Chains A and B, each alone.
Chain A
């Protein structure tokens, strides 16, 4: 979670294009009874766009209101630095206390812990103190300077990890006072999963929930798939596009999302738990997976893994569709990703296709 929820704006528009098509050439369009509804919320400190297809506006509005409440609740529970259930948990963990928690919270922490294990701890939600040290646990953009090397070294020596947690069905405890949970690389995916569950429970089977550029799409846009453009990590515009099938999440971690420049050097928000500094070598990693929370965690882990280690970590996490772009704009992809992605730039970048191993 990056920032707190501030407000909510909802805008509905009808799909003018479909109406024009329906009116002018009805024989070419079979889904004229369907309609696109689009809404925009401000949640998690970012814009959340929700599109639904094939239900009436009343159903769409009601479902989107429920999604908004869900985002609010997740935000107030898991916010990493503003007073929340999580900050309370972190206070108690630091004191070595055992905390009683509801099953849904235990479940989220367990799943994050499982993904951390699968990623060799490259996705490490226990490094909240590193994130804070670099100034990224703040609503405002950090200005620098970067932390003193001695402060990073000292924190690194304490090696906070999800392995330090003792998790039972009802309680949580840490054996390491340096553990400070920050689900920044996971909670947005979890919230998107919850949003899709809510939409489905209200009878919506065709939708996209796009939370600040990370999304899950179910069903189709009428008689065609949903089309997703993947933004270029270095320039404005789209580098590639993909059409989703059935139920897929598309998550990207990039070094351009949150950063500060200090004395000519850029420091971004994805911290490598192995050395305590912003991860190098990758500039963006895109993951496609059916579960948004898993895709979120995997995008973070593979970004940290970089061009040398991403295949191993992807295999361990069960991720088959990955696109990693390095700092020289070389593109590394799994064969499954390569089959379906369409580059929108010319000339095409250097592409290296490799299996997860």
Chain B
């Protein structure tokens, strides 16, 4: 092997623990909530600041709350309130949707450990 080959191999071994830690450890908690409104509007909110805010959909106003790293629908103008009953979302991949009002909330992490969540 040439000197360059040794450098490359050493670099690879140095990187392995970092890559393992970064990409294979199970995430405990998401960092950001992605909110989809209708067909084309998308917003991302950080979960590190507690607050409530309103999102306008075709049926009316959905009220969303961020609290201690979690997010939930507080109220929505739909009849069934399934989005409100979904409760707090916290972990990467968690989501809830108010389909009548065309609004969904999903938790994003800095990386996907799972390609899909089955439930």
Residues on A facing B (Cβ under 8 Å): 3, 6-9, 11, 17, 21, 24-25, 27-28, 40, 42, 45-47, 49, 51, 139-141, 208, 210, 213-215, 217, 221, 226-231, 236-238, 241, 250-252, 254, 256-257, 286, 344
Contacts and interface: CB of A to CB of B under 8 A. Distances in A.
Contact of A229 (B81, B88, B100, B113): B113
B91 A237 contact: yes
B53 interface: no
A344 B26 contact: yes
Given A9-B36, A231-B117, 15 more contacts: A6-B102, A8-B39, A21-B19, A42-B99, A51-B116, A140-B80, A141-B81, A141-B82, A141-B85, A214-B118, A228-B116, A229-B116, A230-B118, A238-B26, A344-B26
A357 to B, nearest CB: 26
Contacts of B94: 236
Q: B-side binding surface: helix, strand, loop or mixed?
A: loop
Nearest to A240: B118
A9 B38 contact: yes
Interface in B41-96: 42, 78-82, 85, 88-91, 93-95
Contacts of A251: 118
A176 B20 CA distance: 61
A252 B15 CA distance: 38
Given A17-B23, A227-B113, A27 B81 contact: no
A228 B112 CA distance: 11
A217 B80 contact: no
B6 interface: no
A39 B112 CA distance: 15
A6 B91 contact: no
Q: Name the residue among A47, A238, A344 with the largest chain B CB count within 10 angstroms.
A: A238
B39 A9 contact: yes
Contact of A51 (B26, B36, B42, B115): B115
A27 B19 CA distance: 14
Q: Which 10 A-B pairs have the closest CB atoms?
A: A140-B80, A231-B119, A229-B114, A213-B119, A141-B80, A210-B116, A140-B79, A226-B115, A250-B118, A230-B118
A238 B114 contact: yes
Contacts of A217: 115-116
A166 B74 CA distance: 49
